[in-house]
Amino acid sequence: MPSTGSENRQRVLLLIAIVLLGFAFRYTALSSIPAGFFRDEADKGYTTWCLMTLGTDQTGARWPVFVQALKVTTSSLYQYLDIPIVALFGLTEFAVRLPACLAGTLSVFAAWLFARRFWGANAALWAALFVALSPWSILLSRWANQSILLTAWMPLAVFFLFRRDDAPSKKDAIFSAFFFLLALYTYATARLTVPLLCLLFSGVMIFCSKNRLRLLPPLAVFWTLLAVGALPLLQHLLLQPEQSGARLSNISIFDGQPLLSLIREFLWNYLLHLSPVFLFVSGDANPRHNAMIFGQLHWYIAPLLLAGLFQCVRKRSRIDIMLLAWFFCFPIAAACTRESIPHALRSIYAVPVVHLLAAYGLIALIENRAWFESRLSPGAVRAAALFWIACLVFLPLMYGLQLFVRYPVLSAPAWEYGYRDAIQWREQNAPGARTLVSGIAEYPEVFFLFYGKFPPARWISNHRIDNIEFLPLGVGVDSRYSYEGPPVLYLARPGELAHVQPEKSILLPSGEPIWKWVRGGRL
């Protein structure tokens, strides 16, 4: 029965409300939660500043496809997206985090668009709501990491590739290839995941098509655009292998170990990403990837995910097979690494597909309510439904309480809290003072560049900041401290220079010291 105009307006209003709810979870107190500002964020912000003012990255390369960030080479897409925002709001934590917030919000709409095409308006609203409330998506939408962009690019790419019943139009193929290419240039793990999924999806379309000849022109357009668009990446991988593989070489399981050990480690890593403990209980152990209360997903998703997977196996339509391929491929790239496994960023491809499957499963459960009532009882079915609704209401409330109240206190050290306050104190009380910075923490210079808005041209010319020396990593300031000589400010950790009264202590939200300024002499 077709929807009436009133029903359509209600659904539009519900969609707007859901998108605004998702935006509120991601936008509220964006600059201060997470508390602190991680070095990757500061580096992205300063690289954006360099691109905006000079058109180069921190090495002087003009409008690069890949940028050097903290001694590794990475995608520059996030920084380019951030240029207009930094131009509008200035070089601030808020401006650097806003692209992630907007991408996370866009992923809510992308899930709605996908589900509406394949399962109808009601399923679309549920899919949007599930993504809007997803712990996995919310936290990663609140800090400057490029992986969150994938939660928007991937469902849009798949939507355009499959939205027509038999074969995509050439225009759809172009849009799909465009979003897959965006994903390919967004995050390093996409170099494996995107080609793999594109091959699988093409195979699904060919296998399920009633007229395979119709697929040839759009798939030719699709793969031609992918191949041409991937040329800069291939050039980077082949001609600059040390730069392109610097990070991977440190974390890859492909390090020459025996084949049997390699297979065993891969399978173990793969299964860890599918485990209920990771998905629903404790999640990623890194507090920058998990808010330290639930797993990566809310508990109420679990029965719906199982129902959605069951529907895919039972029906085995073109879309069902595609979703199964997507779901069982999401851990593959992460399973090829061994650092911090299971890893929420490297397996972020799960965010769209898990919540789409949950919406699919919910609609199937609703449609088969009579079957459940005939085998259980109407009262038992209603009780289960009420319990599920209670979880849908209270679990996001509990997550919000954790995220906005407890999490900023608990996770502040992981976010390198304290640099902003320390640098601002120096600028206000001893501007331009000769300074020695402890090497106990990694890459402190990037924070001085970011918060000091140090002129990019001067940094690029000699990679020095006036009057500041940064000790090598692992070297504390105790060996350099002196009571004599010209005045010097020392930025030290609490355990350093224990015999010297600090000029200023920088405290964590919990009240514990994290940094201190100490006056001394001789640089």
- Over its length of 523 residues, how does the chain's per-residue pLDDT go in tens digits? 556 778 788 999 999 999 999 999 999 999 999 999 999 999 999 999 999 999 999 999 999 999 988 878 889 999 999 999 999 999 999 999 999 999 999 999 999 999 999 999 999 999 999 999 999 999 999 999 999 999 999 999 999 999 998 889 999 999 999 999 999 999 999 999 999 999 999 999 999 988 888 999 999 999 999 999 999 999 988 888 777 666 677 788 998 899 999 999 999 999 999 999 999 999 999 999 999 999 999 999 999 999 999 999 999 999 999 999 999 999 999 999 988 899 999 999 999 999 999 999 999 999 998 888 888 888 899 999 999 999 999 999 999 999 999 999 999 999 999 999 999 999 999 998 999 999 999 999 999 999 999 999 999 999 999 999 999 999 999 989 988 888 999 999 999 999 999 999 999 999 999 999 999 987 6
pLDDT for the residue 523: 67
Structure tokens at 97: 């985090």
User: What does pTM read for this prediction?
Assistant: 0.94
CB count in 10 Å sphere of residue 117: 15
pLDDT for the residue 339: 84
Backbone angles phi, psi at 357, to 5 degrees: -65, -35
Structure tokens at 419: 């640099």
pLDDT for the residue 125: 98
Report which DSSP code applies to 478: G
Backbone angles phi, psi at 499, to 5 degrees: -85, 0
Cβ atoms of residues 263 and 354 within 8 Å: no
pLDDT for the residue 241: 75
**Cis bond leading into 34, ω under 30°?**
yes
In angstroms, what CA-CA distances link 316 with 118, 120, 125, 208, 323? 14, 18, 24, 10, 10
pLDDT for the residue 251: 85
pLDDT for the residue 30: 98
Strands 513-521, 487-492: parallel, antiparallel or unpaired by DSSP? Answer: antiparallel
pLDDT for the residue 3: 63
In angstroms, what CA-CA distances link 511 with 80, 194, 405, 412, 514? 37, 45, 15, 11, 9
Sign of CA dihedral 53, 56, 57, 60: negative
Cα-Cα end-to-end distance for the chain: 80
pLDDT for the residue 2: 58
Q: Which residues pair with 86 in a beta bridge?
A: none
* 396/133 Cα distance (integer angstroms): 6
* 280/300 Cα distance (integer angstroms): 9
Q: Which residues pair with 513 in a beta bridge?
A: 507
Closest C-alpha among 259, 296, 264, 293 to residue 280:
296
Q: Which residues pair with 380 in a beta bridge?
A: none
* 326/307 Cα distance (integer angstroms): 16
Q: Which residues pair with 517 in a beta bridge?
A: 491, 504
pLDDT for the residue 244: 66
pLDDT for the residue 273: 97
Structure tokens at 349: 């491809």
* 168/159 Cα distance (integer angstroms): 10
H or E stretch at 435: strand 435-437
Beta strands in 8-112 (DSSP E): 66-69, 72-75
Q: What DSSP string runs through 361-397?
A: HHHHHHHTHHHHHHHS-HHHHHHHHHHHHHHHHHHHH
Helix (H/G/I), strand (E/B), else coil: 427? helix
Beta strands in 58-129 (DSSP E): 66-69, 72-75
Q: Which strand ranges, in their side-by-side order, compose the sheet holding 435-437?
A: 468-470, 435-437, 487-492, 513-521, 504-507
Residue 286, C-beta contacts closer than 8 angstroms, at least 6 positions apart = 340, 343, 344, 414
Cβ atoms of residues 269 and 397 within 8 Å: no
Cβ atoms of residues 456 and 53 within 8 Å: yes
Backbone angles phi, psi at 72, to 5 degrees: -130, 160
